[in-house]
Amino acid sequence: MIALVDYGAGNLTSVRKALSALGADYEVPTDPAQLARAAGIIVPGVGHFAATASLDRGWRRSILECVRAGVPLFGICLGMQWLFEGSEEAPELAGLGLIAGRCTKLEDRSAEALRTNPEGLRAGDKIKVPHVGWNSLAIPRPSRLLADVTAGAQVYFTHSYAAPVTTECVAITTHAAPFAAAVERDLVFGVQFHPEKSSDAGLRIVRNFLDVVQAHHRVP
């Protein structure tokens, strides 16, 4: 069973639809103790990092215990940012800390400069924030999460803050400056974009996570 964590941060319906389309068995737990029988955990979310405050000490403890026990974890959009140490959007709140680094606001440069000169933008150039719409993935290394997803695949974003490119980064997108579009560390996975809204490439990514869950399934 996949545990789909609902902490009031949106996009639960679209993730449910994607899981149903792929034939996945999932539940939305109402208590962190219910995570004990999960084979995999998905933490979705959109909006402000402050929403992660709803994932209180009980949820954090249960999720971390599951990860230590070998349960795959998948963060989507805000859920991916929560995997890091924190975000400038709500600096008083700690992230889960499974991946080092903090999320920062996308640089304020012009969309025209981004389109015409993405590798050498001038000081004072501006882009649109939030970053909303389709953008491509650069894939620097092989990844279980991105298996059979081709470099340059287009996926759908909507965000104002982004995670840094670190050693855990398995996909990079550039919106004025490069940021981590997908991360993978052991059985911890995350994507900044919305795979459930990213057509075939997005469904492939969700299926890849489900395949990892199946491969590491444990009986509680």
- pLDDT tens sequence across 96-109: 999 999 999 997 54
- Is 103 tagged catalytic? no
- Residue range 123-148: mean pLDDT, rounded: 88
**Residue 68 pLDDT level (bands cut at 50, 70, 90):** very high
Per annotation, catalytic residue among 131, 159, 175, 194: 194
Token pair for 155: 């996926």
Show the beta-strand stretches assigned E in 77-121.
86-87, 102-105
Taking residues 56-71, what's their average pLDDT?
Answer: 96
Clarify whether 77 is annotated catalytic. yes
Instruction: Out of 77, 168, 175, 184, pick the active-site residue.
Output: 77
Instruction: Quote the pTM value.
Output: 0.90
Please give the torsion angle defined by the CA atoms of residues 58, 37, 208 and 74, in that order, rounded to the nearest 10 degrees: 0
Which residues, listed in sequence order, are joined to residue 94 by a DSSP beta bridge? 86
Which among 41, 110, 97 is positioned nearest to 72, based on CA atoms?
41
85, 107, 196, 217: the active-site residue: 196
- The full set of domains in the chain, from first to last, is 2-215 (3.40.50.880)
Mean of pLDDT values over 174-183 = 92
Instruction: Report pLDDT for 132.
Output: 94
Residue 85 has a pLDDT of 98
- How far apart CA 58 and CA 190 sit, in angstroms, is 21
User: By percentage, how much of the chain surpasses pLDDT 70?
Assistant: 90
What is the average per-residue pLDDT within 151-173? 96
